[in-house]
Structure 1
């Protein structure tokens, strides 16, 4: 079940593949959402594509040490 959520800067979400991601940037005038997966991969999507993702908001994950 998809839960529509507007992206919130600094908030974490769980995607349909059970991957954690954090919203790291928003560009309202360009309509883009930038986010970073827990593994460090960064992506940028148009807001319309973000809206199509199946995301659930989650609590902030525990901090991990940088390798």
Structure 2
């Protein structure tokens, strides 16, 4: 299976012992890293280093926000 199949997110959470509703994911694909995970309750964020179309421009800000 590959992203954005729901089962990949579900299986990953199960193997990590993580609850989807408490899980955050970031990546550079709107479809695979933001929309796909949200279908099972994971909070997905779009990383867009080149412009203003994403939720974050770099990973440090994402990590700081998540760890607050």
| TM-score, scaled relative to structure 1 | 0.24
Larger relative contact order (C-alpha < 8 A, sep ≥ 6)?
1
Query: Which structure has more strand as a fraction of its residues?
Result: 1
Query: Which structure has more helix as a fraction of its residues?
Result: 2
